[in-house]
């Protein structure tokens, strides 16, 4: 670490800016969690106050756990997210390896083609996707969601991972070839362990939009057995009456699995983001 002297005024401003940003970023999350522990009147009368002995209430959580199959929704969300991340990482890394390692005709074009997905939102194809899923009989299955999310996550994954794989030394791969490792063994046993930080970065970037997505569950898998958490929470939002206690509680609960996954990946994530910048 550098020990260069920085004027206290300057570092003070930096900290102020960062602290300000932290407050802004955390404020809605904090507000959601605080209010989920209050009764309905308190939510509307004093939305910014923390729960007191008088206003404390777990009614929201009780509603959430009683009404609907929330454990099931959680399970669906987890299955969809984890399986999608797995496929995005597996196929993304494989494609990235091929693009960065092998010289073949149309290599650059293929890379660009795969990167187009970063710029064009997959939702533009919703109608076609729905027709396709109907034709394939996959409506109201988690498979439909997993397929869509895998497709959605691949472009960014390939883009980031192929950049990282270029940095893996050629000599190392060649040493593996001379030692008789197959191309698959070189990929799984030599290259993947070395790009782990990048994989974690991709995993986090892939995970959050999938977990938060409302669009595709609503269109492709709105059935009771395949509802995800975000879709499940919508039960409490009515056209005329909204059960705010329940909505806030459901959202608070939904934060935790993401938080856990994030903590798992975060150590690697920071290394992935700063790789190259700090050697």
Partner 1 sequence: MGSLNLKSIRKAFGTHEVLKGIDLEVKDGEFVIFVGPSGCGKSTLLRVIAGLEDATSGSVQIDGKEVITTPPAKRGIAMVFQSYALYPHLTVKDNMGLGLKQMGAPRAEVDAKVGKASSMLSLDPYLARRPAELSGGQRQRVAIGRAIVREPKLFLFDEPLSNLDAALRVNTRLEIARLHRSLKATMIYVTHDQVEAMTLADKIVVLNAGQIEQIGSPMELYNKPANVFVAGFIGSPQMNFIEAGRLGDSQAKTIGIRPEHITLSRDGGDWKGKVIHVEHLGADTILYLETEVTGLLTVRLFGEHRYDVDDVVYATPDKALMHRFGADDRVQR
Q: Between residue 190 and residue 249, which ones bind partner 1 under the rule CB under 8 A?
A: 190, 193-194
Cβ–Cβ < 8 Å for 133, 201? no
Distances 17 to 28, 93, 208 between C-alpha atoms, Å: 18, 37, 25
SS3 label, residue 56:
strand
Q: Is 24 in the site for partner 1 (CB under 8 A)?
A: no
Nearer to partner 1, 119 or 171 (CB): 171
Q: Is 177 in the site for partner 1 (CB under 8 A)?
A: yes
Q: Which region, judged by CB under 8 A, interacts with partner 1, from 15-23, 33-41, 185-193, 216-224? A: 185-193
Residue 152: CB atoms within 10 Å: 20
Distances 193 to 160, 198, 275 between C-alpha atoms, Å: 16, 10, 15
C-alpha span between 131 and 252 (Å, rounded) = 34
Q: Is 176 in the site for partner 1 (CB under 8 A)?
A: yes
Q: Compute the radius of gyration of the chain from its Cα atoms.
A: 23
Nearer to partner 1, 191 or 210 (CB): 191
C-alpha span between 9 and 245 (Å, rounded) = 44
Q: Angle at CA 269, nearest 5°, toward 264 and 271?
A: 125
Nearer to partner 1, 197 or 217 (CB): 197
**In the beta sheet, which residues pair with residue 237?**
242
Q: Which region, judged by CB under 8 A, interacts with partner 1, from 87-95, 172-180, 225-233, 243-251? A: 172-180
Q: Is 275 in the site for partner 1 (CB under 8 A)?
A: no
Return the sign of the alpha-carbon dihedral for residues 263, 267, 270, 271: negative
Binder of partner 1 out of 71, 109, 127, 178 (CB under 8 A): 178
Binder of partner 1 out of 14, 26, 30, 175 (CB under 8 A): 175
Q: Return the structure tokens found at 103.
A: 């010289």
C-alpha span between 21 and 138 (Å, rounded) = 43
Q: Is 180 in the site for partner 1 (CB under 8 A)?
A: yes
Q: Is 17 in the site for partner 1 (CB under 8 A)?
A: no
Q: Which region, judged by CB under 8 A, interacts with partner 1, from 1-9, 82-90, 189-197, 222-230? A: 189-197
Q: Is 171 in the site for partner 1 (CB under 8 A)?
A: yes
C-alpha span between 206 and 53 (Å, rounded) = 41
Nearer to partner 1, 117 or 272 (CB): 272
Q: Which region, judged by CB under 8 A, interacts with partner 1, from 32-40, 66-74, 81-89, 170-178? A: 170-178
Q: Is 120 in the site for partner 1 (CB under 8 A)?
A: no
Nearer to partner 1, 9 or 109 (CB): 109
SS3 label, residue 106:
coil
| Minimum gap (Å) between residue 173 Cβ and partner 1 | 8
Q: Which residues bind partner 1 (CB under 8 A)?
A: 169, 171-172, 174-181, 189-190, 193-194
């Amino acid at each position: 670490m550098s020990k260069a002297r920085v004027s206290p005024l300057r570092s003070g401003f930096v900290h102020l800016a960062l602290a300000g940003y932290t407050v802004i970023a955390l404020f809605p999350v904090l507000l959601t969690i605080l209010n989920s522990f209050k009764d309905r009147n308190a939510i509307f009368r004093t939305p910014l106050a923390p729960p007191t002995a008088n206003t404390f209430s777990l009614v929201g959580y009780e509603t959430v756990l009683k009404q609907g199959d929330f454990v099931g929704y959680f399970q669906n969300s987890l299955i969809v997210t984890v399986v999608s991340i797995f496929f995005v990482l597996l196929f993304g890394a494989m494609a990235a390896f091929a693009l960065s390692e092998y010289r073949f005709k149309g290599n650059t074009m293929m890379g660009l083609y795969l990167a187009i997905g970063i710029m064009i939102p997959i939702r533009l194809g919703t109608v076609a996707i729905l027709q396709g899923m109907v034709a394939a009989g996959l409506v109201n299955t988690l498979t439909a969601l997993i397929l869509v999310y895998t497709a959605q996550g691949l472009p960014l994954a390939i883009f980031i991972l192929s950049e990282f794989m270029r940095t893996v030394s050629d000599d190392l791969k060649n040493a593996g070839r001379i030692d008789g490792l197959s191309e698959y063994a070189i990929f799984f046993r030599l290259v993947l362990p070395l790009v782990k930080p990048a994989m974690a970065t991709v995993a986090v970037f892939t995970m959050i939009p999938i977990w938060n997505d409302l669009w595709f569950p609503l269109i492709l898998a709105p059935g009771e057995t395949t509802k995800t958490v975000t879709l499940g929470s919508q039960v409490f939002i009515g056209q005329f009456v909204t059960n705010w206690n329940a909505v806030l509680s459901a959202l608070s609960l939904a934060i935790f699995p993401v938080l856990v996954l994030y903590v798992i990946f975060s150590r690697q994530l920071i290394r992935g983001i700063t790789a190259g910048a700090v050697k």
